[in-house]
Amino acid sequence: MPRKAQRFLVGGVVLVIVAVLAYWLGTGDGNGEQAAPAPSPTPTPSATLTTAEVFQRVSPSVVVIRAGRSLGTGVIAADDGTILTAYHVVRGAKDITLTYADGTEAEAEVASADPKQDIATLTPAKLPEIVVPATLGGGATVGAPVVAIGNPLGLTYSVSTGVVSGLNRTTDKGGLSGLIQFDASVNPGSSGGPLLDAAGLVIGIVVAIADPGDDQAFAGVAFAVPIGAALGGEGDGPPGDGPQL
């Protein structure tokens, strides 16, 4: 074999060995073991839901409340069936009746009340076959989309949408403060219902509307107690005197 050809052959062998070595080092730990494949990135699901998805997720947690002549809304807030609502819905009522999303009816008693925040919790005497507590938490941001679910004017399980219009608001007569202002449509019967963010989290409990005409008609401005304040404990002050639903 000519000398030039021999040199070419040796060089080719060296190239093959280098390539094999690179493969071996890249696929093992140097001991001939196969390296574990790198995990492939998993897309993070979007936290934003459509209004329909928010309603489907949360409506099983919403209840219709009838307390004497008062009609309102509540939301299941815990696995034991504890319900959050607006205090003025159940204030002074001797008989409180709940209707769950599946049609189950039950009596309820006031477990705690915070009149200064216009918030009450109810203990039901009976639970639906499947208890679906809502997910509580999350902060409000001005301009962020919100969804309200309630029973305005007796139209049960109505849904409306809007945005957070302002924060730390006080009702016209100064009865309630630190409220979330929003423009999703609510009316009498909506009180106590959940105000939800785009991820379906309960960020507030609906308690009042601005009522410049003094006719309890929605004027585009509504208020909710932030969920953190709603869960803040009992109070012993007088109920708020702002326009309530």
Q: Which residues are CB-contacts of 197 (< 8 A; sequence separation ≥ 6)? A: 138, 140, 144, 145, 146, 147, 203
Phi, psi dihedral angles at 18 (to 5 degrees): -60, -40
Q: Which residue has the tokens 């074999």?
A: 1
Return the bridge partners of 226, or none.
204
Q: Is 88 a catalytic residue?
A: yes
Provide Rg for the chain, Cα atoms.
Answer: 30
Q: Which residues are CB-contacts of 88 (< 8 A; sequence separation ≥ 6)? A: 70, 118, 191, 207, 239, 240, 244
Which of 61, 88, 114, 165 is catalytic? The answer is 88
Cα-based angle 12, 15, 18 (whole degrees, multiple of 5): 155
d(CA 241, CA 68): 20
**Residue type (1 letter), 193:** G
Which of 160, 165, 191, 211 is catalytic? The answer is 191
CA dihedral 224, 226, 231, 232 (to 10 degrees): -110
Q: Is 46 a catalytic residue?
A: no
Q: Answer for the pair 200, 52: CB distance below 8 angstroms, yes or no.
A: no
Q: Which residue has the tokens 């869960």?
A: 231
d(CA 177, CA 169): 6
Which of 114, 118, 183, 197 is catalytic? The answer is 118
Q: Is 191 a catalytic residue?
A: yes
Q: Which residue has the tokens 């639903």?
A: 245
| Residues designated as active site | 88, 118, 191
